[in-house]
Amino acid sequence: MKKIFFIILLFCYAVEGISQNILSKVAKYDLKKIEQKAIESSKKKLGISKETTIGALAYFIVFFQYQTEKNKECSSTDLLEHFSLSRNKPFKCYIYDEENCILATTEKDRVLKNFNSVFYKEYLYIDFFTYLKPEYIFYNIDSPTINPMYFCYKDSEIFVIYLSDDNEKLISTPLSEIKDCSWLNSSEKFE
């Protein structure tokens, strides 16, 4: 009986460890330092004066590698269990101006100028991220939506954020309010 109890306890501990694995990986990064370096390199590359105020927002590139079952409720623990951090480029930074329009994206030491910020209304994401102030932002490469999908982690809860298909509004939903997680499957058509 003690062996069975020990095995169950070990299994529960392992499951909890797996779900926190992505959080322990991203916790190793000093986001303030990454964002400051991104601001400095962007100002230099884009020819922005040192006095001009710009912001940086770091986010992690993740893959969601799991097929959720129909009518299965979502939980932050389940979702975190199935995030896989990109190996080559684990994070990027958005560089934005005072109106929250994205000027560039940085990855490692590269600064990539952004040309379609207004068309895709990416400033809505920056507005939301600066308002919510999440601990971590995850960009889902396997998004089932037409527009980028992000997961914001704050206070042990995940918020799903994406732009509507018509690019008119930002949709933000706490994961705990989603009753059927199967729409997160990248191979299924988003409805």
Q: What is the mean pLDDT of the chain?
A: 80
How many domains is the chain partitioned into structurally?
Answer: 1
Query: In angstroms, rounded to a whole number, what is the distance separating the alpha carbons of residues 66 and 9?
Result: 25
pLDDT digits (tens, 9 = 90+) for 136-161: 999 988 766 667 889 999 999 999 89
- Residue 113 tokens read as 């100028």
Strand, helix or coil for residue 139: strand
146 within domain boundaries:
yes
Q: What is the pTM of this model?
A: 0.79
Average pLDDT of the segment spanning 24-41: 95
- Is there a domain that residue 189 lies in? no
Q: CA 39: distance to chain centroid?
A: 20
Q: How far is CA 154 from CA 13, 107, 160, 175, in A?
A: 23, 24, 11, 11
User: Residue 103 belongs to what domain range?
Assistant: 2-184
Considering the domain boundaries, does residue 54 fall inside one?
yes
Alpha-carbon distance of 13 to 21, in angstroms, equals 12
Name the band, by pLDDT with cuts 50, 70 and 90, for residue 120: low
Q: Which two tokens stand for residue 121?
A: 């209304």
**Measured distance CA(54)–CA(41) in Å, rounded:** 12
In a domain, 191, yes or no: no
